[in-house]
Amino acid sequence: MTNSKVIIALDFKSKEDTIAFLDKFGDEKLYVKVGMEAFYGQGIELIEEINRRGHSIFLDLKCHDIPNTVKSAMRQLAKLGVNMVNVHASGGVAMMKAAIDGLEEGKQGESRPLCIAVTCLTSLDQEVLDNELLIHEQLPDVVLHWAKNAKAAGLDGVVCSPLESKVIHENLGMDFLTVTPGIRLAEDSKDDQKRVTTPTIAKELTSSYIVVGRTITNAQDPLATYRKVYEEFQG
């Protein structure tokens, strides 16, 4: 377990690459995110290895299906000993409630994994909402409404842009977690995410956790870069 609120996205194509990256951190206990590519390609064995090393795990599979299917899936994910999982808020309140029920049934020990909901992906902007998804409300209003649904369903928080974190906390309280991807150091490029900010700004915007990927995983010295991000956000 770790007290770090900086979650490193392990977006590697092989288990060997993932383990080689983790080896660079020595005894440092991390909070890592295992997403679809890593989990589907490297399997439960990867989760077991990360657990063996004592790191915390956010298993980022973004479940989205009918409530009973999501409940069954979450029951199985809870058995893996991960610390955080997520669903799509657009699946609705009943689906999110079912996710919590599944986690409670499958939990290992006294507490279930944290469960958060994805609001609007950071690759989306108002033009995509209007023209592709036919959602004509303003993006911040959509995010807040879906966050309210998540809290009503008993979830622990949401995935959102740090630009929306402050208003979510103002409306739903600081105990409702905001997990914010799209984080880069100031000198990095924006890559494929349109709503991007730095660790320092994310802290000012009250993000509970930040998710950092290529800024750390592509760095010449990942440990030093991680510590720089950590210092900016939690120091």
Q: Which domains does the chain have, with CATH numbers?
A: 6-234 (3.20.20.70)
C-alpha torsion sign, points 95, 159, 214, 31: negative
What's the mean pLDDT in 188-217? 85
Which of 15, 62, 79, 166 does the annotation list as catalytic? 62
Rounded CA-CA distance 209/121 in Å is 16
Please compute the mean of the pLDDT values over residues 118-141 and round it to a whole number.
90
User: Known catalytic residue: 203?
Assistant: no
Q: Which two tokens stand for residue 53?
A: 């090393």
Percent of the chain with pLDDT over 70: 96
The lowest-confidence range among 117-121, 144-148, 223-227 is 117-121
Q: How far is CA 189 from the centre of its chain?
A: 21
What is the per-residue pLDDT for 124?
84
Long-range (24+ apart) CB contacts under 8 A made by 23-27 are 24/222, 24/223, 25/222, 25/223, 25/226, 26/223
Radius of gyration of the chain (CA): 17
Which residue has 């991390």 as its token pair?
Answer: 30
Average per-residue pLDDT in the chain? 93
Torsion angle, CA of 118/11/219/166, rounded to 10 degrees?
10
Query: What is the predicted pLDDT for the residue at 97?
Result: 98
Q: Of 141, 73, 80, 86, give the one whose Cα is nearest residue 109.
A: 80
List alpha helices for 85-125, DSSP H: 93-106
For the record, the structure tokens of 27 come out as 């005894």
Indicate the pLDDT class of residue 78, thresholds 50, 70 and 90. Answer: very high
Which residues make beta-bridge pairs with 177? 157
pLDDT in tens, 22-40: 999 999 999 999 999 999 9
Report the 10 Å Cβ neighbour count for 80.
Answer: 18
pLDDT digits (tens, 9 = 90+) for 155-201: 999 998 888 899 999 999 999 999 998 898 987 766 565 556 899 99
